[in-house]
Amino acid sequence: MFLRLTDDQATWDEFILANGGGFLQSWGWTEFQRACGRQVLRCRLEEGASPGGGETAAQFALSLIDLGFGFRYAAVPRGPIVAPGVAGARDRVDAAVAAIRSTSVREGAVFARLEPPFELEGDLIRPQDMERWGFSGASPNQPAATSLVDLGRGEDKLLAAMHHKTRYNLRLAERRGVTARRAGVGSPHFHKHDKDVFWKLLSHTAERDKFHTHPRRYYETMLDVPMAPKMKGSFELALWFAEVGGQPAAAAIVAYYGGTATYLHGASMAELRQHMAPYLLHWEIMRDAKARGFCTYDFWGVAPTDDPGHPWAGITRFKTGFGGWRVNYLGAWELPLRPVWYSLYRTARGILHP
């Protein structure tokens, strides 16, 4: 097989979409990563007698992420994406993992981090395969479990599949006058006001619920990165608000790619909690996505089980209340490439994030 870098958006996204890949491996997301200052390599693994002349076996976008002091690591989120192949996809996964390793070594990475697109049980690759390749389990950066809602059903069936309390809160939000809107991307109003409102809501939510956010510039870059030229199924982002009498009550950033709309970031105002704005917000996002031809709504991060003691138990009840099904992924895995420095990194990470 031959490994080469590619700069062809159309063929890149065509392969990712044809083989079930998600937005984290899309061309548009790699553009966002580059806008954040990261080096991103778009790698294509080809079968054939010569480079450029064979069938694409796999693709992966590899980001090089700064660790400080001149060190960095290689990350492949929800990748590699592999075509089925005549000889079987497992051989192609083997080759893709080997290519990720060699590319990471060539770029001087301390370690390679994979969060594969495969499910935890019954999928192409198992945890034993990751261990066989030299990887060990790590804390995930991307959700290790999520809840997916099938938008292919009629609205009546979508509502019927919800938990009765979710339906009640949705109707309560409607009665209390909550409305939802998609922010106008590219308009002066969007740039001068809506992003400020989102950051205010997010900061409020993070302080209330005791979680860390990315820097403000991260979200601004995410919403500013141009996604043109557009093609069917290509990556896009949208900012949504739920409002009560014109006052922002909840917000969400949603990613669209292929047939899936994904809820990435959200925030809400505690003072307006009684209006149940997040319920109506997600319902309207789902209705809009369905009307635009999207097949799935991905709530992007739930607890792996219904354990009431899990730190995400509350948000999991909210998300699963919309009637989706839970998917548990293979999780995050790290491959040491410079063992001494990797050991020091793990020690430092354990001290800073016990």
Q: Cα Rg for the chain, rounded, in angstroms?
A: 21
pLDDT > 80? residue 103? yes
Structure-model confidence comparison of residues 51 and 139, the more confident one: 139
Q: Quick one: pLDDT at residue 230?
A: 62
pLDDT > 70? residue 236? yes
Task: Give me the helices (H) in the chain, please.
Answer: 9-18, 27-35, 89-106, 127-132, 155-161, 164-175, 188-189, 195-209, 216-224, 277-291, 313-320, 339-352
Q: Quick one: pLDDT at residue 26?
A: 96
Cβ(144)–Cβ(328) below 8 Å: yes
* Percent of the chain clearing pLDDT 90 (strictly above): 82
Residue 191: pLDDT band with limits 50, 70, 90: low
The enclosing H or E element of 343 equals: helix 339-352
Cβ(20)–Cβ(55) below 8 Å: no
pLDDT > 60? residue 229? no
In this predicted model, what pLDDT tens digit does every residue of 278-335 receive, in sequence order?
Answer: 999 999 999 999 999 999 999 999 999 999 999 999 999 999 999 999 999 999 999 9
Q: Quick one: pLDDT at residue 226?
A: 60
Q: What residues pair up with 257 in beta bridges, in sequence order?
A: 260
Q: What residues pair up with 138 in beta bridges, in sequence order?
A: 332
Cβ neighbours, 10 Å, residue 296: 18
Asked if the 2-142+329-352 domain carries CATH number 3.40.630.30, the reply is: yes
In this predicted model, what pLDDT tens digit does every residue of 192-208 receive, in sequence order?
Answer: 789 999 999 999 999 99
pLDDT > 80? residue 17? yes
Q: Quick one: pLDDT at residue 225?
A: 73
For 145-328, the fitting CATH number among 3.40.190.10, 3.40.630.30, 3.50.50.60, 3.40.50.970 is 3.40.630.30
**Structural domain spans, the chain:** 2-142+329-352, 145-328
Q: Quick one: pLDDT at residue 49?
A: 62
Q: Quick one: pLDDT at residue 209?
A: 87
pLDDT, averaged across the chain? 92
Token digits for 200?
């205010």
Token digits for 270?
């505690």
Q: Quick one: pLDDT at residue 51?
A: 63
* Amino acid at site 213: T
Mean pLDDT of 242-249: 95
Q: Quick one: pLDDT at residue 187?
A: 58
Instruction: Report phi then psi at 250, rounded to 5.
Output: -160, 160
Q: Quick one: pLDDT at residue 1?
A: 80
2-142+329-352 against 145-328: fold identical: yes
Q: Quick one: pLDDT at residue 65?
A: 97
Q: Quick one: pLDDT at residue 193?
A: 86
Mean pLDDT of 76-100: 90
Q: Quick one: pLDDT at residue 200?
A: 95
In this predicted model, what pLDDT tens digit does every residue of 33-58 receive, in sequence order?
Answer: 999 999 999 999 998 766 666 789 99
Burial class (CB within 10 angstroms; exposed 0-12, middle 13-18, buried 19+) of 156: exposed
Residue 86: pLDDT band with limits 50, 70, 90: low
